[in-house]
Chains A and B, each alone.
Chain A
Amino acid sequence: MRVKPSALVMVLYLLFLLIPIYWLVNMSLKTNAEITGTFSLYPHNLTLRNYRVILTDPSWYMGYVNSIIYVVMNTVISIAVALPAAYAFSRYSFMGDKHLFFWLLTNRMSPPAVFALPFFQLYSSVGLFDTHIAVALAHCLFNVPLAVWILEGFMRGVPKEIDETAYIDGYSFPRFFVKIFMPLIASGIGVAAFFCFMFSWVELLLSRTLTSVNAKPIAATMTRTVSASGMDWGVLAAAGVLTIIPGALVIWFVRNYIAKGFALGRV
């Protein structure tokens, strides 16, 4: 059989991408004795102990619960405020619209490191430190602009005649928006929600700065273990594998929109 060179390139590239992930999965299924004692390419004594540790120890699994709570809150807030704004940007021109759109972009582009300290002080002073809503609001910094940009891209694809016909038929704006317009851009809302979820899920710096105990995200729980002296490599690897799962589950449904989402809806 003749092998196409392009297939060979892809196989090599995918191997480069997948081997480090495989290594993590591999380690998560080994005992610590096997990890440090022998060097094996696959687990000889397959064990689920590492996963069991995480799923039975509240200090571990609460990390996931906390992360999911603030990520979902953030996604809901971001989409809810972004929908009307994206509609405004896609349909109307108004005073300062271009400047506003640009200003939103600068927030997506601003380094979280710049905001870490002021966020800490702001949320401490209003008594929101170490709450889920604090992290959810902080992540709005980059997710609201992202949602506005993605949704605006989808909304521009809907012809304006639909709005006008609906208004002539006597629909009020809120009823038109919910009943007619939102179903038309349902895939756009899904894509925007997915990316808000993802970017909030992968962020560590702000969520770590704004929490200590009650809302501690899984990412911060993991770094704590890294700095501990007695290293539990197996559990660390298992925790890592579990953080990859939410993205891996949903990715198949949004595969054609990945480039769009990362390019702020502009591709």
Chain B
Amino acid sequence: MEKTQNNRAWLLVLPVLVVVAFSAVIPLMTVVNYSVNDTFGNNAFFWAGLEWFDEMVHSRRLHEALGRQALFSAIILAIEVPLGIFVALNMPKKGFWSSLVLVLMALPLLIPFNVVGTIWQIFGRTDIGLLGHTLKALGLDYNYTNDPLDAWITVIVMDVWHWTSLVALLCYAGLQSIPQAYYQAARIDQASRWAVFRHIELPKMKGVLLIAVLLRFMDSFMIYTEPFVVTGGGPGNSTTFLSIDLVKMAVGQFDLGPAAAFSIMYFLVILLVSWVFYTVMTNIDRSQSDIPEAM
């Protein structure tokens, strides 16, 4: 749509600016302030320059948390994206069943994060949980509170359970936009199932798939509540991801300076990914409006 040039539109945006300024800009400024100051309490601050940043960049604790975080995000993306595509391809296309499947699939997405944690905490317990009990009955030595590997598996399966539906629903939305004529043409050409997927469905899903990957990356990168409820970051530090570590540092130990420097670097990473996300989205919008509607 052709937009009118009108700088008075700023007036319409003003309420949003005021609210977001209060809920984002002011807190962020506080973080910046802490990150360059040292304090011994009583609101007395001393200029510390980039000392905290220097300390954090070389902090082994941060490197380890970052490593765990990157590994976690990589694993869940590697599982959720192919699984989500696979599920989307198998979803019923229309009618009552499609509605029912949509609703059931969306259910995990709407459960409070801590309840997701609670569900898996209970589910995985060997004494009262179905999963833990079954695994024990099968003779497997499974205990997510003691064994780091089991804790990781539990947290990953939980995330797959929680978010694969999102990937699937996005892909499904992309698939729904493919005109039937494409499939008919493919049938006339006697294209194989794989060829249909590779040359019709995948290109059509490219846009939504990018959105799905970026959303899952961002959200998994700042995951906090679910692993916190299930494992509390343990055993040891084995499931302490970036957000958990940050909250430990800021609210638990009250190390304001290092935590603030940590926050800012964390935020910059997110900012960079957001920028990629935004560029991708606007490019998709543009390419969609360039292509004339298919028949």
Contact = CB atoms under 8 A, between A and B. Distances in A.
B5 A93 contact: yes
A259 B123 CA distance: 28
Residue from B128, B130, B259 with most neighbouring chain A CB atoms (10 Å):
B128
A47 B243 CA distance: 39
Contacts of B86: 9
Interface string A84-125: 110111111111010011101111011111111111111000
B90 A6 contact: yes
Contact of B27 (A95, A119, A198): A119
B229 interface: yes
B77 to A, nearest CB: 16
Contacts of A107: 20, 24
A62 interface: no
Given A16-B161, A104-B20, A116-B251, A109 B172 contact: no
A255 B101 CA distance: 10
A17 B173 contact: no
A156 interface: yes
Given A24-B119, A91-B9, A248 B91 contact: no
B1 interface: yes
Interface string A186-214: 00000000000010011111000100000
Interface in A128-143: 137-138, 140-141
B266 A81 contact: no
A85 B22 contact: no
B4 A116 contact: no
A17 B161 contact: yes
B270 A252 contact: no
Interface string B80-97: 000000110111100000
Contact of B110 (A19, A198, A233, A267): A198
B114 A223 contact: yes
Interface residues of A, number: 99
Interface in B257-295: 259, 263, 266-267, 270-271, 273-275, 277-278, 281, 284-285
Interface in B48-72: none
A182 interface: no
A172 interface: no
A252 B106 CA distance: 10
B290 to A, nearest CB: 15
B251 A117 contact: yes
A201 B23 contact: no
Interface stretch (B140-148, B162-170, B183-191, B196-204): B162-170
A66 interface: no
A121 B3 contact: no
Residue from B13, B174, B250, B259 with most neighbouring chain A CB atoms (10 Å):
B13
A110 B103 contact: no
B266 A111 contact: yes
Contacts of A19: 130
A43 interface: no
B39 interface: no
A223 B229 contact: yes
A113 B129 CA distance: 30
Contact of B225 (A20, A85, A198, A204): A204
Contacts of A248: 107, 110
A252 B103 CA distance: 6
A143 B144 CA distance: 34
Contacts of A145: 20
Interface string B11-45: 01101101110111011101100000000000000
Nearest to B218: A109
A98 to B, nearest CB: 8
Interface of B: 1-10, 12-13, 15-16, 18-20, 22-24, 26-28, 30-31, 86-87, 89-92, 99, 101-115, 118-123, 127-131, 133, 161, 165-166, 169-170, 172-174, 208, 211-212, 215, 218, 221-222, 224-225, 229, 242-244, 246-247, 250-251, 256, 259, 263, 266-267, 270-271, 273-275, 277-278, 281, 284-285
15 contacts: A7-B90, A10-B87, A10-B90, A81-B18, A87-B12, A111-B221, A111-B266, A119-B27, A137-B19, A137-B23, A237-B122, A243-B112, A248-B110, A252-B103, A259-B169
Given A113-B263, A159-B1, A226-B121, 4 more contacts: A20-B161, A82-B16, A110-B222, A267-B208
Interface of A: 5-7, 9-10, 13-14, 16-21, 23-24, 27, 35-36, 39, 41, 77, 80-82, 84-85, 87-95, 97, 100-102, 104-107, 109-122, 137-138, 140-141, 144-145, 148, 156, 159-160, 198, 201-205, 209, 218-219, 222-223, 226, 233, 236-237, 240, 243-244, 247-248, 251-252, 255-256, 258-260, 262-264, 266-267
